[in-house]
Amino acid sequence: MSHEIRTPMNGVLGMAELLQDTPLSPQQQQYLKVINSSGKALLNIINDVLDYSKIAAGKMELEDIDINLENLCLECASVFFVTAERKRLQFLVEIDSNLPAQIQGDPTRLRQILLNLLGNAFKFTQQGRIQLMVSTEDSSGAAQLRFQVADTGIGIPEPIRQNLFSAFVQADSTTTRQFGGTGLGLTISQRLVELMGGLISVTSQPGQGSRFCFTIPLRSQPPRAAPLQAEQYDAVRNSHVILVDESAEFLDLMQRQARPWGLDLHTAQSIEQGLECCRQAAVQVRNPVLLVVSSTLENNHGLACFSRLDQAQLLPECKRVVLTPLRPTPANDALQQAGVHHVIQKPVMWPQLREALFDVLCGRLEAPQTAQRNQPAQRATRRVLVAEDNPINQMVVCRMLVKMGVEYDVADNGRQALDMLLQDYALFDAVLMDCEMPVLDGYEATRLLRQQEAKLQRQRKPVIALTAHVLTEHKARAEQAGMDDFLCKPLEFEELQAKLQALFDTQDAVADRSGGDRRLLG
């Protein structure tokens, strides 16, 4: 069983690695990163049950190879970017600049532990923030790596905490129904940490959040900051950076992370405060100035900071960087009009900001960089509701829709999808409905939708089922629930496009016969 499951996944990941060595556009590189991170995350999930049985039998063996710790942490964090944006959670990642560039250990198992802990944090947190912190500490004269994942979620009662690392244990009987999960993740994480010679612990208060911490022995060269290249050092030492964002926690984190690199970083929490920093820089600073502004400032009017800078004729040579959410991003013409040199999408981690600053300050950008992710096509007139609980699957489907010129909204479960449909029924032309979701699955959501349509005498809303099942019985179940069509995962762009095009063509034909308005795809 282990061989049969792992072999095809390894083939996918191996071919993705080979694809990295071919010429790719920046957008293709981003797609490939998603393929790699999603594939590795999926492989880890599949391995949970297999690993648990192996650990229980005492047959688990760990690798001992070089690990780029910063890259591994950023890769794990990137898996949850879409979730953070969708749930409106602040996601902060702090990696100690004194960490060694390379450590010794098992990257697959370390990644598995971090994904388990981060996955739980995002699963059980509905508002507030998630933090991933990586640092070093000395314990009895031995250097230790310390990983912490903190959240502001539902918390864990004391009686549950005592058995939290036991197999199949979750907070209460409703947890699995509401949030899903096998209950194996923490058990496996604890066993893996112990195999690495470390310890894992949790502190929590119900209703206030949880903090999971694990330490493992640090086996590497003495901790050191990554060296700056000569051109980067000169650019950093001779520059003045102003960062404007509404989050005090984010600004404090960036200041701490920038300090060891020698960046002269000044922060502000509003457009007016940012402009005051610019006024002071215009008088006091002779070095190049770089202004980094969040587009979400003051109800998504952050770009106004640049226009007001121009109106005041301040810092005409100032380099400009904008921080944008995943969705919606400012239009390209608005970015160009604001004179933006580079775009970074939130949540922003220090290595991303650092490299972007170096690129701008060192003049490595040949043309202004603009955001492309999840940006609707200009003439998109169709709108589809995507009901999908998995954040990576959400990203894949939504990117396909963007490529078709179709606008979209996302629901994280069947209940949310049903509520969105009943609240604004005419807004959506179709629904892409995942069959297996927490809270309310796609089958039941579709049944309830059909009942409401009959009760309110509304025209039938097309629903296309999305499922990983391929058996005839599952297709029959979808039809019985009232679904109109069926797509198997992993989705193929051409197949999804063909299904939607046929559906929209039918709607247009009906509109023509009734004298209604036609709406075009793309």
CATH code for the domain in which residue 468 is found: 3.40.50.2300
Per-residue buried b or exposed e for 151-182, using 16+ beta carbons within 10 Å of the residue's own CB: bbbbbbeeebbeebbeeeebbeeebeeebebe
Q: Between helices 248-258 and 350-361, what is the axis angle to 10°?
A: 60
Do 307 and 183 fall within a single domain?
no
Do 151 and 248 fall within a single domain?
no
**Of 296, 330, 361, which residue sits at a domain end?**
361
Please answer whether residues 263 and 357 qualify as being in contact, where contact means their C-beta atoms are separated by less than 8 angstroms. yes
| Nearest one of 398, 403, 375, 380 to 388, comparing CA atoms | 398
Query: How many CA atoms are closer than 13 Å to the CA of 415, on its beta-carbon side?
Result: 4
The secondary structure element, H or E, covering residue 87 is none
Six-digit token string for 292: 């980094």
Do 124 and 135 fall within a single domain?
yes
| Nearest one of 410, 406, 417 to 503, comparing CA atoms | 406
Over the Cα atoms of the chain, what is R_g?
25
Which pTM does this prediction carry?
Answer: 0.61
Q: Is residue 202 part of a domain?
A: yes
Strand ordering across the sheet containing 142-151: 90-95, 129-139, 142-151, 209-217, 199-205
- Please list the pLDDT of the chain residue by residue as tens digits (522 residues): 554 565 566 557 766 766 877 888 887 888 888 888 888 777 767 767 777 787 888 878 888 888 999 989 988 998 888 889 889 999 999 999 888 888 999 998 899 899 999 999 999 999 999 999 999 988 666 789 999 999 999 999 888 887 888 765 555 544 443 444 446 788 889 999 999 999 999 999 999 999 999 999 988 755 444 455 555 666 666 788 999 999 999 999 999 998 888 888 999 999 999 999 999 999 988 888 899 999 999 888 999 999 999 999 999 889 999 999 877 778 888 888 999 988 998 889 998 888 888 888 776 544 344 333 333 333 347 999 999 988 777 877 887 888 888 999 999 999 999 999 999 998 999 999 999 898 999 999 999 999 999 999 898 999 999 987 655 567 788 899 999 998 877 677 788 998 998 888 887 766 655 555 555 454
Do 401 and 273 fall within a single domain?
no
**Of 303, 330, 361, which residue sits at a domain end?**
361
Q: H-type helices in 57-106, by residue range?
A: 69-78, 81-86
Do 214 and 349 fall within a single domain?
no
Pairing of strands 129-139, 102-105: unpaired
- Where are any strands of DSSP class E within 369-484? 383-387, 407-411, 430-434, 463-467
Number of domains in the chain: 4
Q: Between helices 414-423 and 442-456, what is the axis angle to 10°?
A: 20
Range of the domain at 112: 61-226
Q: Is residue 369 part of a domain?
A: no
Do 38 and 87 fall within a single domain?
no
